[in-house]
Chain A
Amino acid sequence: MSDAFFRYWPAIIAGIVGAAIPRRDSTKLRAGLGFIAAFLVFSIQALWPEDASAAHAVASEWPHLLNVLIFLPLLGAAAVLFMPRQLLGLLRGFTLGVLGLGFALSLMLLTVPMTTGWHFVSIHEWIPAMGVRWHVAVDGISLWLILLTTFMTPIAVYAAFGSIKTRIKEFCFAFLLLQGAMLGAFVSLDLFQFYMFWELMLVPMYVMIGIWGGADKVKASVKFFLYTMAGSMLMLAAIVYLVWTHQKLTGTWTFDYLALSRVVLPGPSAAAGGWNNAWQVTKSPQGLCFWAFSIAFFIKVPMWPLHTWLPDAHVQAPTGGSVILAAVMLKLGTYAYMRFSMGLFPGPASSFAANLAGIAILGGIIYGALVAWKQQDVKRLVAYSSVAHLGYVMLGLFGVSPSGMQGAVLQMVNHGVSTGALFLLVGVIYDRRHTRMVDEFGGLAKQMPIYAALFLIVTFASIGVPGTNGFVGEFMVIMGTYTSERLSTFSGIHTIGASAGVILAAVYMLGVTQKIFFGPLTNPKNKHLPDLTVRETLAVAPLIVMIFVIGFFPSIFLDRMKDAVQLEYNQFKNASEQSIRFGDEKNAQMLPEDNFAPEFLRGAPGFKEEKPADDDKQARGEGEAQ
């Protein structure tokens, strides 16, 4: 007990300071802030990267953890259906309870060292006739996106309960379903399963925009749905083709990502310029499947020119929906590109790298920022700023350098935290004034000082001022861009373009902050706006703290992802070389297993490790239904 006290005294002090912060006398607020402060300091201490020598004994992995994480909200959603709609307190409490429990459980993912390879693997036969399996696992990359999801959803739901007053039951149902689907998509390693969750995710979000949205909600929700669906159809076709080819080559049906990543589809014709001719690459089965997958993901990211659904969806979505959409759902696009497009089609991903990076810079970082600058609606502005920020993420992925990819993953988390916070904060003035037009505001800092201060902090995070989270990610991406081998002669000009983006970020974010908060308070409607409520403060506080935690202690995050990123990097490098050098223009091939790290293939159907598995691996293999 006293040991624990001496080890964790900073957390206790942080808790006391946190509780002392609010000036308003609200026990709830004090307790909430105190808990948040103490919990975060405790987490930092507990998660501080340790030397290899001091690493704990490897904790055993509970193989059902991921299943529980996915099915807890799904079952919760089902349970909500059986609750009376009049008992609002029960509905709200239950939903928050389920999501909170999910967050607590997801912290268990941090208890094991994130070494190379898959963790918390759980494999079950599902539809054996088609070779479809239930295959879930995390590595250092998806780990952070799962935690981001379980962290952001309770916050979004908690904040949303403040502003959403109609159809609470349906709202709870939709949110729980969404949570399950998003988590499922992040951990699926079976393409069938992934596709199912990918599509399932759309439904609750579609409903959410369509029911609780703004004036033009139906149009926006349909646009959102159709846009995403169009991409998904392409991906489905490519999945089927890939699975079929695999069956032809090996005789077994499987949708397993690990097994399918060995397939090398026919490449471009060498006579017509081969891999140097972008059109030939596109025309080849490899290129077509790459684009079919990637367009589905680029729509979700969204990348220019497939981004126009995003501003509409964001403007119409309710605050909670916007937060989840921006913080988590867009990350599925970037994550899926990283995992599936790069994993399954390394050849085209490598040969298009410089071009795609150019699109990410010109279309995302620069175009997105300039268009954001011209927006009158704050939510539209934040939506376009997402296009710009995700441009950095995509640039990091296209460049395929270890720094760039780590930066990209970190930037995914960063964008989730800071843009989520921005949407929450924009929701605050929308709830009060029912408008988000910048011209309606001005001089709010006098009237709402706490709100202004928090908004300014998030603004600086979004701009990427060092010390906040945005900086580390952007910095790593920019450094990765210059050192990238993939971008070769373009790396210099790409670096300049990406760095120029930091100027534009300041231009549009500071512009909107100034228009809302500074200058004289002229609009009489703004003269009596109340500052943040207890609920709003408690919802934003964890995000604000996270901004600084990631900014100052990024190694907590980077240390746990670096092995996974390194594995992906090595594999991409090797597999792209293999498929470019040996890829046949007519015939599909299987890359031999020794092209892949055994840690990567472990769990693939039919994969047998050569050396006898030790105890640890056996424990992990128990779930496999081979």
Chain B
Amino acid sequence: MEALKSQFPAANFSLLAVVLLLPLLGAFVNGIFGKRLGKQGVRLMALSAIGGSFLASLLTFLMLPRGEAAEEGGHLAWNAWHWFTITGKMQQAIPIDVSFAIDGLNATMMLVVTGVGFLIHLYSSEYMWKDEGYHRFFAYLNLFCFSMLVLIMADNLALLFVGWEGVGMCSYLLIGFWFGETKNASAGRKAFIVNRIGDFGLLVAMSMLVYYLGTLRFSSIDLAATNLSVPVKIWPIGNLSADTLPSFVAAVILPKEPVMVYASTLVGLALFLGCAGKSAQLPLYIWLPDAMAGPTPVSALIHAATMVTAGVYLVARMGAVFILSPAAMATVAVVGAATALFAASIGLFQHDLKKVLAYSTVSQLGFMFIGVGMGAFASGFFHVFTHAFFKACLFLGAGSVIHAMHVRIHDTDKSQDMRNMGGLRKYLPITHATFLISCLSIAGVPPLAGFWSKDEILWKAFSNEIAAPRTVNGLVPWAWPTWLGVAIYWVGIVAATMTAFYMFRAYFLTFHGDFKGWTIVRGWTDPHAGHGHDDHHDAPHDDVKGDGPEPHESPLAMTIPLMVLAAFALLAGFLNAELIHVAPLGHLLEGVFKADEVAVHERAAAHGKEMMMLVPGILAFVAGIGAAAYVYLQNKGAQETAFAKSFPRLYKLIYDKWRIDELYEATVIGMVDALADIFQMADTWIVDGILAKLSAAIVGAAGTVLRAFQTGKVQAYSASMVIGLAGVGWFLVRPHAVTSIDDTKLKQTGEVVVSAAPGFGYSYNWAGPGLAPTSDFSATREITIPLQPGDKKDVVLQVKNAFNGVDTQTITVARPGKKAAAPTPGANPMDDLAPGGKVVIPGDKIPDLLRGLHQ
């Protein structure tokens, strides 16, 4: 250990490279060389990659700083390379590095990701064996583990975002793994896009953090977070004001006082939007149930154990920001509670085994958000931890059941329908046992893992109180009402009751009662041999009620992960059993959250009621399991049928998931779609129409008009020539008195030369001051007029032509006064250097300059 410590010092802990690069290598090798490696090779590569990564993670975990060092925020850090630098406020350089920092929180997460990841890889290596995309599957799965590890190990938000979107991308690829069906591909796309809505929030949050804190590193954010306590104007936006808006609009939309909100609240809400997208919370949960279109191990790993909990991880990581804003905390907790209840209600009547588990995941994620939203970061995270085990176990168990069903039913939907199952406990004993343990755990039966973590969250919801931060610039922060925590507690109890009910409904429907899939005939063989169990194309010979063999237990590679996970689901609770003061995990996390939990207090009224508030929690699972047993074990679901009959609409509404998808379809998606249609039309008809087509039409029209003159008919041309000649003739017959003035010598001699234009038989008569008065027309075309400074003279010119027509024109010549003497044209304006070195041309000189140019 000491040798390792000197090899990998805490400040340059390059062992993390092994953790990260092994899955990446696996993804690369399987993705590119997978087909040539063969399935055995792919399996070996994938398993050794993730297994090696697990061992390295374990080593990392063991080498974490302990004791005092941990409490002072000691961690293992590794800076891989400098990624890029951005510039913040006031030109501050903010380096964004590819660097990783490990403390108790993410070391635990690393163990979960690589450990559960390994088990699920092992499981999949058998489950997917007959799939032709075997190598592709493991390439994606390894890539997912890599991205997830980047997400949790990153020491800054930008790098976390790499993992964040990376897992989203892998999720997209894996949900649409069987892309031959449009449904699966669409589910993948939906997941990605809904996640992107969340990512939008994350981007906005990051830009605000860059602006206000000048850093994206978690450790620096923790230190500088209080800088977020500044009021920000959120309405009116931009330059909207009484000056820029028409008064009637301004009266409606402009408040008397601008709406101010703390930056911490905005950052918190934007971050939480990202978390809600990734962790499937209201209103962005809709992608997760659809994501069950992916292979079942994927649902277990990505959509239950790891990726979907990233949102909880992020809130916990950014705790320093959240505690500054009770409003953001309350949003997290209330959304969590609402999601927990809402998703649980949908779970009540689903027939698809995986869908039940999916909604249960959404609901459990809601519990986790209650925890972190109430300031109980460690408790929320602990539920992430235990949930990873029992939910992965449940999903893998479901996969094992589906695997068994696939012997005879090849259609994806039908093989997952609980109405086709029943009585499987005698055929699948191991699956049954592990599934039961996990069900008990999720229902919160003591002393299983789920009990400890869920109870802890509910207790914290009941007892915690978030202190209001100090007031800045007179903006009073939103205060946390005392009843809110209690209300969330009771919502949580109701949701927990429902959880127990629907989980045991699923358990009884699947494992108890009679088998309803097909008539079991011993020694039956498939007449359509050659179809693998994972052949997910619609097989037309699926006559569900026909004959078939006994469902069989899955092979060892699939049952070992089930057993290991069930063991954890059974025992992991003792890692943080606060109630009985056995909490090694809590102790590990103390250093991480110590600073964040300063604003969180226990309500005085809640003091000492810990044991008492345990009772509703226990009643919840007793009631839930009891009701499920009564309805589905005793009465074979008679009450559900009765309920469906007496309230058909309500039943249908719940079964259709409250028709939220349809609501979104009609509102948000419909609106965007309509907007896109409008834009598309506008692009064709208005933008292109005006700029290109209309201008082309104008030019074309001008051309058409001009073309009318170019007829090619000689008569027309000669006619126009005659008209033209007549015009020229008329011009020549008329006299034209036109003069030009030459004042180049004005400055030197004070003389201006005026000359008249010549013409056919012209004679001229000049009259004016200083000229000899005469009434005769002479041939004098040019006269010279002397001028004194300040003089102004009018000269009258008469022109007579050969036809005795006379034209008259008056010319005014002037010489400016001495002070305003006209500058020499072409003089260098540099003479007029203004003080300060700037060259200035006075405006009134520009005409002179212009004239100079023309000479």
Contacts and interface: CB of A to CB of B under 8 A. Distances in A.
A76 B129 CA distance: 57
Contacts of B842: 587
A104 B199 CA distance: 40
Contacts of A590: 838-839
Given A479-B207, A483-B211, A250 B179 contact: no
A519 B182 contact: yes
B211 A370 contact: no
B280 to A, nearest CB: 17
Interface string A249-260: 111000000000
A518 B175 CA distance: 12
Nearest to B699: A226
Contacts of A553: 81
A501 B261 CA distance: 25
B192 A466 contact: no
Interface string A459-503: 010000111000110011011111100000110110110011011
A514 B91 CA distance: 43
B727 interface: no
A403 B677 CA distance: 35
Specify which of B211, B687, B839 lies most central, judged by the most chain A CB atoms within 10 Å of its CB.
B839
In this complex, the interface size class of chain A, counting residues with CB under 8 Å from chain B, is 35 or more
Interface stretch (B161-169, B246-254, B738-746): B161-169
Given A481-B207, A490-B239, A510 B200 contact: no
Contacts of A308: 683, 687-688, 691-692
A46 B516 CA distance: 67
B207 A250 contact: no
Contacts of A621: none
Interface string A554-566: 1100100010000
Given A249-B839, A466-B161, A588-B841, A460 B193 contact: no
B676 A373 contact: yes
Nearest to A496: B204
A371 B680 contact: yes
Contacts of A502: 196, 199-200, 203
B635 interface: no
Contact of A520 (B172, B180, B210, B837): B180
A511 B679 contact: no
Interface residues of B, number: 74
Contacts of A495: 204, 207
A490 B200 CA distance: 18
A584 interface: yes
B608 interface: no
B838 A223 contact: no
Contact of A248 (B162, B166, B192, B849): B849
Interface in A386-415: 401-403
Contact of B179 (A20, A374, A445, A496): A445
B277 to A, nearest CB: 10
Contacts of A589: 838-840
B182 A586 contact: no
A23 B179 contact: no
A446 interface: yes
A583 to B, nearest CB: 11
Interface in B190-219: 192-193, 196-197, 199-200, 203-204, 206-208, 210-211
Nearest to A557: B84
A89 interface: no
B88 interface: yes
Contacts of B203: 475, 478, 499, 502
A250 B675 contact: no
Given A23-B36, A489-B238, A503-B200, A555 B84 contact: yes
Q: Among A370, A478, A483, which residue has the most Cβ atoms of chain B within 10 A?
A: A483
Contact of B86 (A21, A403, A510, A552): A403
A304 B687 contact: yes
A367 B679 contact: yes
A524 interface: no
A374 B683 CA distance: 11
B86 A476 contact: yes
A471 B158 CA distance: 10
Contacts of B679: 367, 370-371, 374
Contacts of A584: 840
Contacts of A251: 828-830
B675 A370 contact: yes
Interface in A285-315: 304-309
B753 to A, nearest CB: 28
Given A223-B692, A370-B676, A371-B676, A479 B189 contact: no
B87 interface: yes
B409 to A, nearest CB: 21
Contacts of B242: none
A501 to B, nearest CB: 9
Interface of A: 20-21, 23, 49, 223, 227, 248-251, 304-309, 354, 367, 370-371, 373-374, 401-403, 443, 445-446, 460, 465-467, 471-472, 475-476, 478-483, 489-490, 492-493, 495-496, 499-500, 502-503, 506-507, 510-511, 514, 517-521, 552-555, 558, 562, 582, 584, 586-592
List 4 tightest A-B contacts by C-beta distance, closest first. A518-B185, A482-B207, A586-B843, A466-B162
9 contacts: A23-B36, A248-B841, A367-B679, A445-B179, A467-B165, A503-B193, A506-B192, A518-B184, A587-B846
Given A443-B179, A555-B83, 19 more contacts: A21-B33, A23-B36, A248-B829, A251-B828, A466-B162, A475-B86, A479-B206, A479-B207, A482-B208, A492-B237, A502-B196, A503-B199, A510-B172, A518-B176, A518-B184, A518-B185, A521-B180, A555-B84, A558-B84
